[in-house]
Structure 1
Amino acid sequence: MSAYPPILLVEDNPLDVDLTLRAFQRRKLANPILVARDGEEALAWIPRWESGETLPTVILLDLNMPRVDGLTVLRTLKSHPLLRRIPVVVLTTSKEDRDVQVAYDLGVNSYIVKPVGFDNFMDVAQQIELYWCVINELPK
């Protein structure tokens, strides 16, 4: 068991999962990374968190996924009394104004369009790590 709270990555694209895991591994991120491969898997974590499993320090959420989309996951998390304070960062390919607007209306903490290329993704991973895992102070 890690002394650091986990990060939950909700992403259905295996290449993006691999890219994210490699970027954080290269950064030597201390927080363990949990992966939910679609929105349904992400929502399946809720009973575990309700029963006392360590809450993630941040949730990285894709929007365009099969079975349950990211906006539905976001709506569910932000309406849950235990989970609504967990920072959620949308990490998606969608630049649609409507997606950005709806995500913020639902309470997203940050909206990042996935960069192209590993080096650019490394920069994003570094910023996520620094802000959400080191600088940001979460309520107890």
Structure 2
Amino acid sequence: MKNLNILLIEDDMIEVMKLNRTISSLNLNHNIIEANNGEDALKILEKKDQLPDVILLDLNMPKINGIEFLKILKQDNVLKYIPTIILTTSSNQRDLLECYEIGIAGYVLKPLKYEDYITKIEKLLAYWSINELKQV
């Protein structure tokens, strides 16, 4: 399994720390690039020579929300190929449907229990680390 460069777009610092803690507790060597909102993420993605392998995207964020960010991402001829997985607390079916219509690689609900969170993140990252990802 290869190490991934993961762009985490999340405005809640507790969630950012939780993901980082999970990755280190699982002894994974994935590289996490953090963006606190969609605007910061787009600035990071402007550097087309250092693109992430996978994007983990929260939906509820200030400035540009997750769905607005997705729409911008999918209009770009290079960025649209980066697998984007929604990592959210929103089980709203309208959000789910709209995200799949725009074009996401997955929609994962953040569980309340930390043990369940670890299990989900472990499986999610294991799946993407064995995938053939488009080199842009």
On whether the aligned pair clears a TM of 0.5, the verdict is yes
Q: Determine if the alignment matches structure 1 residue 88 to structure 2 residue 87.
A: no
Structure 1 residue matching 2:107: 3-state secondary structure? strand
Kindly state the Cα deviation for residue 5 of structure 1 after the two structures are TM-superposed.
4.3
Distance 1:29 1:93 in 2: 24
Kindly state the Cα deviation for residue 139 of structure 1 after the two structures are TM-superposed.
2.2
Structure 1, unaligned stretches of length 5 or more?
A: none
Distance 1:116 1:13 in 2: 15
Distance 2:77 2:4 in 1: 19
Q: 1:130 aligns with which of 123, 126, 130?
A: 126
Q: Determine if the alignment matches structure 1 residue 79 to structure 2 residue 75.
A: yes
Structure 2 residue matching 1:18: 3-state secondary structure? helix
Higher normalized helix content (fraction of residues): 2
TM, length-normalised to structure 2: 0.93
> What does residue 39 of structure 2 align with?
40
Kindly state the Cα deviation for residue 129 of structure 1 after the two structures are TM-superposed.
1.4
Identity among equivalent positions (%) equals 37
Kindly state the Cα deviation for residue 100 of structure 1 after the two structures are TM-superposed.
0.2
Q: Conserved in 2, the CA contact under 8 Å of 1:60 and 1:89?
A: yes
Structure 2, unaligned stretches of length 5 or more?
A: none
Q: How does 1:1-140 map to 2 (within 5 A)?
A: 4-49=3-48, 52-53=49-50, 55-133=51-129, 135-140=130-135
How many residue pairs match? The answer is 134
Kindly state the Cα deviation for residue 68 of structure 1 after the two structures are TM-superposed.
0.7
Q: Conserved in 2, the CA contact under 8 Å of 1:29 and 1:129?
A: no
Distance 1:8 1:57 in 2: 8
Distance 1:67 1:139 in 2: 29
**How big is the alpha-carbon RMSD for the aligned residues of Structure 1 and Structure 2?**
1.3
Structure 2 residue matching 1:41: 3-state secondary structure? helix
Kindly state the Cα deviation for residue 4 of structure 1 after the two structures are TM-superposed.
4.2
